[in-house]
Chains A and B, each alone.
Chain A
Amino acid sequence: MKKVISISMVFVLLIMVMAGCSSNKTDEKSEDEASNSKLAKGRYVEENIEVPSDINHILSFLVSPKGITELYGYGNNGNYQKYLYIDKEWVEDESDQLKKALSSTPLQIDRVLYGEDNNLYVLADKFPTYRNALYRLSDSGELEDVGVVRFEDFYAEWNNLPYRPNSIEILKNGMIAVTYNWRAVEIYSSDGQSTVGEFASGYPSAMTACGSYLFYSNENNSEILKLDVEKNEEQASIPFEFEISDKGIIEYDGSTAYICDVTGIHLNKDGGSIWETIVDGSQSSLGMPSQELNDFILGTEDDYYYILQDTEGRFIKHIYFDENASILPVAELSIFSIEDSKTIRQAISIFQQSHPGIKISFRVANPNRKRVYTYGIKDPEATVTLQDQINALNTELLSNKGADILVLDGLPVDSYIEKGVLEDMGDIFKPMIKNEEILSNITDDYINGEKIYTMPVRFRLPIIYGKSEAVNAANSLEELANYTESNKVLPLLNPSNYRAMTAWFLLLYYNQILNDANKVDQALLLDFLRNTDIIARNIEASDDAPINIMGSAKGAIMGYWIDGIIHVHKKLIQANIEELDGIMDFATPIEAAKKWNGSFAVINNTYRANTLIGINSVSNNKELAREFIQFLFAEEIQSEALLDGFPINKLALEGWIERDEINSAFSVGDGDYQIMATYPSLHARVLIYEEIKVLERPMENDSTLIDMILDEAERYLRGDISVQQAVDNTMSSINTYLSE
């Protein structure tokens, strides 16, 4: 009996092992076939809705309580207009009550909305004060000021500074719910005279009303709370685990909650715990970084609308279920990157709109980065190192499973080229170079013999600005150190952390520590460290100097010399170093330099390549990858200013130089101290172009080598070791590294 049991056990174990290792191809295939036959057709598709030609500015796009789709806007001559969207045609509403009411009560309308009480409301600036006011269109066709007291309170509190509520909802009993940028939800009585509720919310735009219920995101952005406003009690909470952006919008139709943001449209039916994504943001206009979600509207026939906004104005997009649209893409293209790229996201959205059968997946190893660190400074909260990410990618590449297109920032590019991981893209770029479509001074750095394996999509511009003498001395670190020795009255730069400071100098002057054989030279490295020490002492750098933390569009920025701009403007330091991503980034530095009658210049003709792109040599979609890359470098994509660097496309760059955003104003502040600046003048823009033309040196991409130098430099500057010891240690590590 024992024998039988033992044999049976061994047999079962063997079966389990074999089953675990067996191929599921046959099953997968039959499942795929079955699902194809069932779900081969039918998905949500996006279409553009052209607004009437006489509408210049969209105020609101609504579905009325009667189910009619309405458009409110201002015309080319500034006149208020209302259109109805009937059978895919725009019809001007001749019986518009609001238009009549406005003739007796002129207002500067910000938005129009229907309340749950079925009344029409208008948020507008009232004349002559230009202050927020909420109006209700009465049954008799008159506009009645609701008289929200809190609106006036804020003006009083902030010395009449202009502001706007983020969103407004009117509940069934006429109560008014308002969200503000400072992440607050406030509920006012229907007469606007008193505040009946105050809550904190994680997303200032994410709020909607249904009957007497209010839906808003909780403070931690982890669930939607359903509040019964009449009873002032929380009725339910709908948790969501995905991260939505600040511009996320919540809607509720009586049985289903919706969230719309850059990641797509997600829905959750009452009582369910799972959110279904019906539209993927990256497959629609929602994912385009150049456009911002302005509003999301539920249609009446299982369809949706969203309003997007860019520098040109607002657009309406319609999402509907197309039963005949193929559910499976004709082709799929995959892109891998360590960090996110706005330009790639932009290109994906536009490319997919013009190629509906193609699905492009963009895999980012470090998504949703809340903090940006300067070179050399590692994110202390990162749980996965760059090396881990490279190793994971290498495993894929070795099994011929890597993405079709690789973004090579931070990856061992030279090694990949040497091993044949990258495909020659000469056929894409050589004609562009020949026709002078792309900047030859940048592209020259990426021609490898007769081949081109990689090319940056954008480039960032490190500049020094401030006192002209200091700016002019920045051609070499030695010159800069000598300058600081003879000009000690004011520090050259803002104080900094040893490592952050050395990283900047190393990347900017890396070529100056290389010998004729392009290897790090012992004597030159020694000079570099000594000169860094001179400047470190001049600017009072220290190991303990806090790395600047500053909130910005990118999140918190760690280690950059951003504070320096204020100190240049205050004339507390002579110059500042910054890395700029676009023409508008120059506005405040130019203003700060003006205080010194100073100037700005690129440093050592160095630039930072951003979004280095390459094609995986074992990709099965090489032709599609080539087409996408060609599109990525086209003027249409490159001309978008997405604050991720300057364009490589010459026409796009020249367009940037020519474009004058005369009405744009910029400011940077430190408490009460503000620098106000205008968009760079044509003269300044031409100067920027001249500086770009002389760029000839990409920053070193080898983070291992840079870190080896930084580790020892940091110890030397701290005083732990002598300069000679630092050089010896560095050379030893570098020699080991290079000998591998």
Chain B
Amino acid sequence: MKKSNQAWLFLAPSFIGLIFFVFLPFGDAIRRSFTTAMGGKFVGLSNYETVVNNQAFKMALANTVKFIIICVPLLLLFSLMLSVMISSLKKLGGLFKTSFLIPLAIPVSSVFFLWKVVFHQNGLLNILLSRVGVEGFDWMSTRAFPILVFSYLWKNVGYDMVLWLAGLDTISLNLYEAASVDGANAWKKFRYITLPGLLPTVYIVTVLSILNTFKVFREAYLIAGSYPRDDSIYMLQHLFNNWFTKLDIQKMCAAAVIVALVITGIILLLQRLDRRFGEDI
């Protein structure tokens, strides 16, 4: 059997799953984005027009973009720092690695209760602030955005760190030894060996981090419900959820197609950049 056929055979089960559980539903979403909510009457681009002019969509999109722009670089930076530090540890590296992965295993509802204890008006944070003479806030209601950013970083830093560590493992130790012989300090080793060596990993870590920002809805929903008091955490997922409740499936599908196109565009752009920088290396 040809090697390519073998590959297709092994790919087939997951590919079939992908067809049934992703492509077909998304195809249905594309179809619904051109029809009325009930009855399936074709309406052309009118749903897209409605969505693009919808104030709630604009606000949710702006908040989501803001969240991605703030969180993804922060996450990449923190997780890279951690991975470099952990990879330099000869002992206890494994322990730290596991510790940073623990947040991934904690259920969202438990995290929410933990945040309540910390960030509630009468919570631990405000108690600490009052000790130093600073008046606290109702963080959960009025400062929800920083909490959400913190929540995202806390949860995902371990995951990204593991990805970076995998990238670090691919860099030959000989390069570092040669640099040491040439008298390079730690910063120069990082700047001229580690960073260029990690460029192929940047693409995958960035894409996964962006996709993970869409999973933060569960935390946002638990903190503030369907309509957050603090508008800044009103995300696209809030809007989609609310549209579904109101049976605005046509708007939801049109918005989903728009978002999918934008994300695909970003991923393609990142891919292109990755290839370009990859060639340079």
Contacts and interface: CB of A to CB of B under 8 A. Distances in A.
A618 B38 contact: yes
A720 B121 contact: yes
B1 A3 contact: yes
Interface stretch (A6-14, A47-55, A151-159, A326-334): A6-14
B121 A412 contact: no
Interface string A380-396: 00000001001100100
A-B interface, 3 closest residue pairs, ranked by CB to CB distance from nearest: A739-B55, A740-B56, A419-B37
Nearest to A712: B229
A663 interface: no
Contacts of A733: 227, 229
B229 A729 contact: yes
A10 B246 contact: no
Interface string A618-646: 10000000000000000000000000000
Contacts of B16: 14, 17
Given A617-B38, A733-B229, A416 B59 contact: no
A419 B231 contact: no
A420 B249 contact: no
Interface in B26-50: 36-39
B245 A419 contact: no
Interface residues of B, number: 33
Contact of B20 (A13, A21, A415, A712): A21
Contact of B245 (A14, A412, A712, A739): A412
Interface stretch (B5-13, B66-74, B177-185): B5-13
B75 interface: no
Nearest to A617: B38
A664 to B, nearest CB: 45
A6 B39 CA distance: 47
Contacts of A390: 245
Contact of A415 (B9, B12, B231, B247): B247
A704 B10 contact: no
B140 to A, nearest CB: 12
Given A10-B10, A14-B12, A421 B247 contact: yes
B229 A10 contact: no
Given A419-B38, A733-B227, A740 B248 contact: yes
Given A397-B38, A736-B59, A740-B54, A391 B244 contact: yes
Contacts of B244: 391, 394
A739 B248 CA distance: 13
Contact of B231 (A394, A711, A736): A736
25 contacts: A13-B13, A14-B12, A17-B13, A387-B226, A390-B245, A394-B245, A397-B38, A398-B38, A398-B249, A416-B247, A419-B37, A420-B36, A420-B37, A421-B38, A421-B247, A617-B38, A711-B229, A729-B229, A733-B227, A733-B229, A739-B54, A739-B56, A740-B54, A740-B56, A740-B242
A415 B9 CA distance: 47
B138 interface: yes
B11 to A, nearest CB: 10
A376 to B, nearest CB: 14
Contacts of B10: 6, 10
Given A421-B247, A736-B227, A740-B54, 7 more contacts: A14-B12, A397-B247, A618-B38, A704-B227, A732-B229, A736-B231, A740-B243
Interface residues of A, number: 35
Contacts of A740: 54, 56, 239, 242-243, 246, 248
A419 B247 CA distance: 8
A520 to B, nearest CB: 14
Interface of A: 3, 6-7, 10, 13-14, 17, 21, 387, 390-391, 394, 397-398, 412, 415-416, 419-421, 617-618, 704, 708, 711-712, 720, 729, 732-733, 735-737, 739-740
Nearest to B138: A720
B247 A412 contact: yes
Nearest to A16: B13
Interface string B221-246: 00000110101001000010011111
Contacts of A387: 226, 245
A718 to B, nearest CB: 10
B37 to A, nearest CB: 4
Contacts of A17: 13, 16-17
Nearest to B243: A740
A391 B245 contact: yes
A572 B75 CA distance: 62
Contacts of B1: 3, 7
Nearest to B13: A13
Contacts of B6: 3, 6
A119 B42 CA distance: 78
B222 to A, nearest CB: 12
A722 to B, nearest CB: 13
Contacts of A736: 56, 59, 227, 231, 234
A176 to B, nearest CB: 55
Contacts of B249: 394, 398
A4 B54 CA distance: 57
A104 B153 CA distance: 92
Contacts of A397: 38, 247
A394 B248 CA distance: 10
Contacts of A412: 245-247
B227 A394 contact: no
Contacts of B38: 397-398, 419-421, 617-618
Contacts of A708: 227
Contacts of B242: 737, 740
A412 B249 CA distance: 14
A10 B13 contact: yes
Nearest to B55: A739
Contacts of B245: 387, 390-391, 394, 412
B13 A415 contact: no
A10 B227 contact: no
Nearest to B17: A17
Contacts of A398: 38, 247, 249
A397 B244 CA distance: 11
The residue in A13, A618, A737, A740 that gathers the most chain B C-beta atoms within 10 A of its C-beta is A740
A206 B231 CA distance: 57
A394 B12 CA distance: 33
Nearest to A616: B38
A420 B56 CA distance: 23
A241 B121 CA distance: 44
A4 to B, nearest CB: 10
Contacts of A617: 38
A345 to B, nearest CB: 27
A7 B9 contact: yes
